[in-house]
Structure 1
């Protein structure tokens, strides 16, 4: 028998997003207000019939809705938090963590924020002595959580950018139309100048002189993105300002970072307008190289754009994306659907995202399986940093992935027999990974009794009892 779906918090959030009363939503779904009230309080499970009604009336992605897509802090993230040595002795069972994530999502978010602050204070003890506790909430984590709460999709920006991007579209290059738009509509002159003139800045807008300066060392696709970014700042100023205000960021630094992130999002949407980009994705079978050529973008820009295709009624393949450096530091993490990796730690060394550095410029594909049995098709490849400079560092790696049920739509999966291809078992952070026989394990699993035998060494450096 299939498990019952108690989705009260998601129903409540959906209703509030549409600014509806329980009576209004109940009427649209042809159920009684009292029944909807029971559903929202998890006193009744959501039926398949009701899920279909939600899909029909509110254009809900049934799979994501039923699986908890869009919830910021889910059971996996809570399990990672409660595996910490500070909490592991409590032995909180997974079903309680699932109940917390599903029934009290705001409380789960609060627990995650406190834990993130604790981790940051451990890395930077000077912050812990600050009277303002918000100082240990790092800007990148706050913004990352905010973006993931919205599943990296902003309909208002998409609509505005699609109108503007469509008007500026040019088969040769969007650079010249955007430069003219900045000049003719906003009185902003664009110049490409030597890096020495800008110091350690790659682009700069001088509001007093109405002058936009771009480094000569930026790669061509990044010059295009720079123009789109500046255009987004002026064209969508009111929209972005309102979105930042509504987000309620705790300090000015976080507000500025969120503003920049939203402008970056809009820049990508201007370069790759939603409808045309989704159509090209479907026609080109999500071939990143062909999409780069079609839109004059680079690999990272296209990969990021692929994680944003969540428009109701016109959804693309729901990708997740990571960007890492050779040391394993994660500098970007986006997901259009559920993300199968650690929120607070790094990635599993068995995922060949790391192997991309040994195969620079090549596309590395892999089928992976997480401990819960879910399988994903992943693509990894190296990218160059945006600016040509001795100070800018070496290569980065991009990892993209999607649930295996979507892999048949991908050009790079055509060589696979998805039913019989070898699958690599991967896990989240080692501290919460349940896999017993893993020679890659870097730390013992929290809350598990080690089974070390001094007379017999095992494959795993930290064997433990199941």
Structure 2
């Protein structure tokens, strides 16, 4: 007997098949040797049938057991009745203190359409409105502090990733596409590539039919296999619809961590990095090449493993060419520029930091090394520009000066001095330029779009639910 049988849908299918054959409960009961009252409990979704009874019912109705167990409601009417039954079980609906509505044959379909539609609107309005940009930045700052406190290492996600790898027989090296598809199948999903995925999503998962939809092309810095593993991560880690923006952000970070832990497994990456440290030849690019991932993923994955396994503190930054920070992490004491909420994202890096200097190097797409003298000490950094179709981002991994001895590129002569984020440094233009131009310039600002800007309301901020539902409706019948 399938453990995930939807009793309500099963009952609707049983009733539909019985009525379509002009059969009463008593007549069906006689054929399968059961009392009509027992069959009524099945049709009302109140009892789970045993396998022997399922076989007898299928034979009596002249259908296969598979058809009887299909998760697809047999008619639009049945779909509405199921939706209403599920709605009335929802605590949100029950909080209205309305009497339970039993749907009889005489209740018109349009009445059910109205009730179900009102319930969906009730759910939408009850979903916590998207936080303000200030609240979103605070939530992100809180999450970043947690990551620093845990040295960006989450053993429970590492364990979930390793269990998935073990299930498909992973032994080492870069994961093949076949192995990734085996992981998807192991967790009960199928994959379908489509050209018309809604623009507001990276993937869509039909949880009823256990089907994941993806585009074949990369999205920003994310390859299809990365997006696939991030999507799978939500289900492996037991995520439920996010309660608020902070929960949404936490789930996204955890799913990203899971994908990286699968693509760069702890079991093989730690020995590889430990050998490189002993040889004083640690490098992000080697980690990238061995596991066939992006430079950004390799650098960020390094932060997961560095403190726990290599006894190294470090920092990570992702910024655009203008210096705007999109992602950052540190447990090495580096002081980032922040706003009054403590948020880093959206702030501008000092122009003398390696994440800015790499764009001015003779070959911006080569690996760039630099020492930077800061008020609280000197840091060694390696920066690399990850090109994309939309815009270029610099990825920086850095450590305190004393730890540079373990890394390739430590012999660099590139050196700058920065007083940021304290002191004047580059926050204000040089005094000579300011004296000449201040009050004589009117720049037309370019609007910035950022992940922590205000997003539309809903459980999944920024997702157009109408587009998603229309998309699934299209592929449901194909």
TM-score band w.r.t. shorter chain: 0.5 to 0.7
- TM-fit CA distance, 1:395: 1.1
Q: Does 1:378 align with 2:373?
A: no
> For structure 2, which runs of at least 5 residues remain unmatched after alignment?
1-128, 340-346, 437-478
Partners of 1:333 and 1:296 in 2: how far apart? 23
Q: Is the 8 A contact 1:307 1:336 kept in 2?
A: no
Q: Deviations over 1:194-239 (max 9, x none)?
A: 2x344353322222332212212117972221232123222221xx
Q: Does 1:326 align with 2:321?
A: yes
Partners of 1:336 and 1:283 in 2: how far apart? 23
TM-score, normalised relative to structure 1 = 0.55
**Residue correspondence of structure 1 range 148-187 to structure 2 within 5 A:** 148-151=145-148, 152-165=152-165, 167-169=169-171, 171=173, 173-183=175-185, 185-187=186-188
Q: Deviations over 1:423-458 (max 9, x none)?
A: 4211223xx32x6xx5x44179xxxxxxxxxxxx66
Partners of 1:178 and 1:222 in 2: how far apart? 13
Please tell me the root mean square deviation across aligned C-alpha atoms, in Å. 3.2
- TM-fit CA distance, 1:156: 1.8
Query: 2:399: which partner in 1?
Result: 402
**Residue correspondence of structure 1 range 330-345 to structure 2 within 5 A:** 330-344=325-339, 345=347
Q: Is the 8 A contact 1:340 1:370 kept in 2?
A: no
For these two proteins, the number of residue pairs brought into alignment is 289
- TM-fit CA distance, 1:274: 2.1
Q: Deviations over 1:68-87 (max 9, x none)?
A: xxxxxxxxxxxxxxxxxxxx
Q: Cα distance 1:221–1:292, how it changes in 2: closer, same or farther (>3 A)?
A: farther
Q: Deviations over 1:117-169 (max 9, x none)?
A: xxxxxxxxxxxxxxx99745332441343233232222222233234335435
Query: 2:227: which partner in 1?
Result: 226
Partners of 1:221 and 1:136 in 2: how far apart? 25
- TM-fit CA distance, 1:303: 0.9
- TM-fit CA distance, 1:351: 1.4
Q: Is the 8 A contact 2:203 2:227 kept in 1?
A: yes
Give the one of 428, 446, 451 matched to 1:442: 428
Q: Is the 8 A contact 1:182 1:188 kept in 2?
A: yes
- Corresponding residue SS for 2:192: strand
- Corresponding residue SS for 2:217: coil
Q: Does 1:188 align with 2:185?
A: no
Q: Does 1:262 align with 2:254?
A: yes
Q: Deviations over 1:34-67 (max 9, x none)?
A: xxxxxxxxxxxxxxxxxxxxxxxxxxxxxxxxxx
TM-score, normalised relative to structure 2 = 0.54
Q: Is the 8 A contact 1:326 1:395 kept in 2?
A: yes
Query: 2:299: which partner in 1?
Result: 303
Partners of 1:148 and 1:424 in 2: how far apart? 28
Partners of 2:331 and 2:265 in 1: how far apart? 17
- Corresponding residue SS for 1:411: coil
Q: Is the 8 A contact 2:164 2:183 kept in 1?
A: no
Instruction: Name which one, 1 or 2, has greater alpha-carbon Rg.
Output: 2
Q: Does 1:277 align with 2:269?
A: yes
Partners of 1:366 and 1:198 in 2: how far apart? 42
Q: Does 1:202 align with 2:205?
A: no
- Corresponding residue SS for 1:150: helix
